[in-house]
Chains A and B, each alone.
Chain A
């Protein structure tokens, strides 16, 4: 097997806070290659965005990678010179953000922002880079590129801004696009358009996609693989189809159950009781145990590893019983 474009091994990230060191990421591993699409889901504070930032070297000053390795095209980026690392990173990965208006520089026209990389990094002439930018604008599905070239970000709608942000990310021709909840701030129809655009890019140019979101429906739509994150770890990892139909971790199961179902006869939303653990204290036992319906006392004392179980990987002592959860649930009539 060839080396994957990006490979993350046992990544741990610590954040310094006023109340001490916070273990934001506690051992996360994944591989991604061009054409792959991975969805990382989890609730707020589970470490999804920090994972992306750590991989892309965008951690804020108070956070640092405490252990683990990140390989880009087989090279350990921690061992590379700053310049070489930046070059390798920008060749390999691009990123789009949740809030497109914040991801665009307010004082530069969108055309010039898109043309910047071709012009100042790839050394194209002014007119060449303009052509490249116009092409990119069209590629992300913005009509009338010429007349929109000279607009400022605040003159565009939310959906167009996100398309511009995608065009900027694509201008460096990355092989993997990291998406940090890019559709959360958009309304549903625009969201669908942006997702369709990402799917097209993936199909047409083999772009790999890492999609961080808390929206399970979105993952279902555009990802092949799903990784469920809880308290700084992946608790379940598998293909979208099998995971959605047959979750092997109680957290995934509860998440899926908490998603609103328009056909449900009972219109009361299910919610997971309790709250995510405080990561500034050491985690003892399974972090989900206090909120879990399937756990027992054993779960409170030792933390399960992410292990292969049936069709996916799951970090749960009870995952071999996953078939029974749905059965007992339907009997008690919650859903």
Chain B
């Protein structure tokens, strides 16, 4: 039952963060983009729990609103690759042949390409913003799911119950959906948990490079970047958003661990 505990702790941490992001307007009375130039770079006070940044914006409320942006993109940027990768993996593994080998060559190409170079190039093409980040991560992210699922399908294809289903003449779509998918998807789900962390990290990195969500929208990556010049005086400006990423990552890997032992009996 240890696995359940890690699952619950992880889900608890993440759930708290998600709730905080959703109910951010109720938790803090500050607008995350409202500047107060008379109170810049103040340390933590009772009014501003985590102080203010160089433009006098409340850091705590920026963190909460930033969670909205980062978590949403993080999940979106995993959901799309997940769907694309899992379906392609199912089909390549099942049908094999030329279709399989051509898709796998594309996969090899994408894997060989450095992610950030590709992402930065795409963001340059589409312009910074949520859409291009999601597109960039999707274009790169699906390959992992495709490979995981394909490998599992190749194994499951030779299992007796798949043979039995094939022999009874069930339609292929039915076999894939009902017999194959539920039995090959668990690894992909577990991987998606750590993948969310990776994609949040990518968003934050792109934000830090100024290629992410355009300012002044609150976002952890740009917060780190904006806090960087003051790292010696107001260290928390750059550190706390980074710490948030760590917490999310920690929660998701706990969930992932819990899921591994739950799903893979």
- A interface residues (Cβ-Cβ under 8 A, vs B): 56, 58, 60-61, 86-87, 89-91, 93-97, 99, 102-108, 116-117, 120-121, 165, 168-169, 171-172
Selected A-B contacts with CB under 8 Å, 8 pairs: A60-B158, A61-B96, A90-B169, A97-B163, A97-B164, A104-B161, A105-B182, A116-B170
Given A95-B163, A116-B174, A169-B164, does the pair A107, B182 have CB atoms closer than 8 Å?
A: yes
A310 to B177, CA, bound (A): 54
Q: Is the CB of A58 within 8 A of B163?
A: yes
Q: Is the CB of A94 within 8 A of B159?
A: no
Quick one: closest B residue to A107, CB to CB?
Answer: B182
Q: Is the CB of B170 within 8 A of A121?
A: yes
Quick one: closest A residue to B154, CB to CB?
Answer: A61
* SS class, residues of chain B in contact with chain A: helix
A169 to B164, CA, bound (A): 7
Q: Is the CB of A103 within 8 A of B160?
A: yes
| Chain B window 158-190, contacts with chain A (Cβ cutoff 8 Å), 1 for yes, 0 for no | 111101111111110010001100110000000
Quick one: closest B residue to A88, CB to CB?
Answer: B169
A106 to B178, CA, bound (A): 11
CB distance from B161 to the nearest CB of A (A): 5
Name B170's contact: one of A96, A120, A169 (CB within 8 Å).
Answer: A120
Which 9 pairs from chain A and chain B are nearest by CB? A90-B169, A103-B160, A172-B168, A97-B160, A102-B160, A107-B182, A105-B161, A117-B168, A58-B163
Quick one: closest A residue to B183, CB to CB?
Answer: A107
A70 to B167, CA, bound (A): 16
A34 to B131, CA, bound (A): 63
Q: Is the CB of B160 within 8 A of A99?
A: yes
CB distance from B200 to the nearest CB of A (A): 31
Quick one: closest B residue to A171, CB to CB?
Answer: B168
A220 to B184, CA, bound (A): 41
Name A103's contact: one of B161, B174, B178 (CB within 8 Å).
Answer: B161
CB distance from A147 to the nearest CB of B (A): 23
A96 to B183, CA, bound (A): 20
Quick one: closest A residue to B173, CB to CB?
Answer: A120
Quick one: closest B residue to A112, CB to CB?
Answer: B178
Quick one: closest A residue to B158, CB to CB?
Answer: A60
CB distance from A218 to the nearest CB of B (A): 20
Q: Is the CB of B169 within 8 A of A86?
A: yes
Q: Is the CB of A168 within 8 A of B164?
A: yes
Q: Is the CB of A121 within 8 A of B165?
A: no
CB distance from A332 to the nearest CB of B (A): 45
Instruction: Give the residues from 230 to 262 in chain B that come closer than 8 angstroms, CB to CB, to chain A.
Output: none
Residues of chain B within 8 A of A94, CB atoms compared = 167-168
Q: Is the CB of A120 within 8 A of B171?
A: yes
Residues of chain B within 8 A of A60, CB atoms compared = 158
Quick one: closest A residue to B161, CB to CB?
Answer: A105
Residues of chain B within 8 A of A89, CB atoms compared = 167, 169
Q: Is the CB of A56 within 8 A of B167?
A: yes
A117 to B169, CA, bound (A): 8
Q: Is the CB of B170 within 8 A of A106?
A: no
Q: Is the CB of B164 within 8 A of A95?
A: yes
CB distance from A104 to the nearest CB of B (A): 6
Instruction: Give the residues from 91 to 108 in chain B that come closer than 8 angstroms, CB to CB, to chain A.
Output: 96
Residues of chain A within 8 A of B171, CB atoms compared = 120-121
Name B168's contact: one of A97, A106, A108, A168 (CB within 8 Å).
Answer: A168
Residue of A93, A94, A116, A171 ringed by the most chain B CB atoms within 10 A: A116
CB distance from A12 to the nearest CB of B (A): 21
A96 to B163, CA, bound (A): 10
Residues of chain B within 8 A of A105, CB atoms compared = 161, 165, 178-179, 182-183
Residues of chain A within 8 A of B182, CB atoms compared = 105, 107-108
Residues of chain A within 8 A of B178, CB atoms compared = 105, 108, 116
CB distance from A307 to the nearest CB of B (A): 34
A102 to B170, CA, bound (A): 18
Residues of chain A within 8 A of B96, CB atoms compared = 61
Quick one: closest A residue to B162, CB to CB?
Answer: A105
CB distance from A181 to the nearest CB of B (A): 12
CB distance from B176 to the nearest CB of A (A): 12
Given A60-B158, A116-B178, A120-B174, does the pair A90, B168 have CB atoms closer than 8 Å?
A: yes
Residues of chain B within 8 A of A108, CB atoms compared = 178-179, 182
A228 to B171, CA, bound (A): 36
A93 to B161, CA, bound (A): 15
Residues of chain A within 8 A of B165, CB atoms compared = 105, 116
Name A102's contact: one of B159, B168, B174 (CB within 8 Å).
Answer: B159
Q: Is the CB of A95 within 8 A of B158?
A: no
CB distance from B265 to the nearest CB of A (A): 9
A106 to B182, CA, bound (A): 9
Quick one: closest B residue to A122, CB to CB?
Answer: B169
Name A121's contact: one of B158, B163, B168 (CB within 8 Å).
Answer: B168
A172 to B174, CA, bound (A): 15
A89 to B167, CA, bound (A): 7
